[in-house]
Structure formats: C-alpha cells, structure tokens
C-alpha cells in the first residue's frame, strides 16, 4: 500500500478557532455555577463595579493586544464601545451651532457604529468564525488608542491660540500612532478568525474604518482659529 503524505499546515488551517462565547458574568463566586448566579440578587453598586472592572480589563487587553485576546472575544460586551463612541462624538462635535467645519455628534456616532457593522458583515461574508457581536465588540474596543490620540489633540488645540506646523506635526504623529495601534490590536484579535486565503480582504475594511476615524480627528480644529 502506497504511503500518502499529509501537509500539516493544511490540517491546522482547517481546525476551527474556538472563540465561541456569550455575555458572561465575570466576578461570579467560584463555588456557584454561572447559570445559577443572578445579578438580581446583588446590590446595584456591586453590579456597576463588576461591569466597570470587566470593561477596564478589556481596555488593558487592547493596550496590550498580544495577551488576553481570547478573554476579549469570549466575554464580549458593548459597554466599552458605547462609552468610547460617545466620548469620541462629544470631543469631535462642533463647539457651537455655527461651527459647520466640525462633524456633529450624530454624524460621528452613526459613522462609528455603521462602520463597525459594515466591517463585521464583510467578515461574516468572508467566512469569519466570530459572531456578529463579538466582532463589533472588538472593533469598538480597539477605538481606544484613537480616543487617547483625540484627547491629546484636543489638549494641544485648547492650550494654544494659534496652530503652528510643529503642533500640527505633533498631532499628526499622535493620530498616526493611534491609528497603527488600533489597526494592530484589531488584527491581533480578529486575524485568526479569518480564512488564510481571505485575510487580505478582511484587513482592508478594518484599515479603512480606523483611517476614517483618524482623518476626522486630525482634520478637526477650533471654530475660532
């Protein structure tokens, strides 16, 4: 009987990525089954603190995407993305009604959420193994580096009356770093969920999503300058 050779790389590429998960209850007592643990039996303060700690841990995972990726995928939620989306929309909106050069709150809010949904649908159509809300969660949390860059840019804009080339260069580099970090973090979490031969098609929408946010940040100026 003739021996047949098997390409190990082909076999490993076909192994499904175990990232299935649902909204879990972090902080549940270890001696109690998670199905028996109900947040209705705990004080509101404990529930809020537990959720805040869970969101904070996910922020840490985004800042250090090489560790804890499975935790972010399994224990997904939309609280962190919602907070970041509202913060970015508030910081980017015009200072007053006459400020037509800056995007308004609703525009930024819709761009972020619709963009995350479009990128997620593209991933699903390409055969991604993540659920819809897992992907939206990751894309939303990975806006954190750009949110930090936006805060730095707003401080620079508020601290000086006139904008020089040097200050613009500082803002540009800050946003560029935030864009690179957001894209890298998103790919660290989402890259393994895509088929090997379709990763390039999945990366481009993610790149474009964070590029649009970066462009809104770097192009925002005060109305009185």
pLDDT, one tens digit per residue, over 5-48 is 445 444 445 445 555 544 455 555 544 455 555 666 678 888 88
Only one residue has tokens 């963009």, namely: 115
Query: Is there a domain that residue 203 lies in?
Result: yes
The total number of structural domains that make up the chain: 1
The pLDDT tens digits for 198-222 are 777 888 899 999 999 999 999 875 4
Domain for residue 127, yes or no?
yes
What tens digit of pLDDT does each residue of 129-161 get? 788 888 899 899 999 999 999 999 999 888 877
Q: Are 170 and 113 in contact (CB under 8 A)?
A: no
Give domain status of residue 40, yes or no: no
- 30 inside domain: no
Identify whether the C-beta of residue 127 lies closer than 8 Å to the C-beta of residue 139: no
Q: Is residue 84 included in any domain, yes or no? A: yes
For residue 146, the enclosing domain spans 77-224
């Amino acid at each position: 009987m003739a021996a047949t050779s098997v390409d190990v790389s082909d076999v490993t590429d076909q192994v499904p990525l175990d990232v299935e998960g649902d909204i879990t209850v972090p902080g549940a007592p270890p001696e109690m089954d998670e199905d028996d643990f109900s947040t209705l039996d705990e004080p509101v303060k404990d529930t809020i603190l537990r959720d805040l700690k869970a969101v904070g841990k996910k922020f840490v995972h985004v800042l250090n995407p090489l560790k804890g990726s499975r935790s972010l995928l399994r224990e997904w939620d939309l609280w962190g993305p919602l907070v970041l989306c509202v913060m970015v929309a508030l910081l980017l909106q015009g200072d007053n009604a006459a400020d037509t050069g800056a995007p308004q709150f609703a525009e930024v809010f819709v761009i972020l959420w619709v963009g995350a949904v479009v990128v997620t649908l593209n991933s699903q159509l390409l055969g991604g193994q993540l659920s819809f809300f897992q992907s939206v969660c990751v894309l939303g949390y990975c806006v954190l580096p750009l949110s930090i860059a936006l805060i730095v840019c707003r401080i620079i804009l508020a601290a000086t009356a006139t904008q020089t080339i040097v200050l613009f260069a500082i803002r540009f580099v800050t946003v560029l770093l935030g864009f690179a970090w957001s894209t890298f973090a998103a790919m660290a979490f989402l890259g393994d969920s895509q088929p090997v031969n379709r990763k390039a098609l999945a990366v481009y929408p993610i790149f474009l999503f964070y590029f649009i946010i970066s462009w809104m940040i770097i192009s925002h100026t005060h109305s009185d300058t």
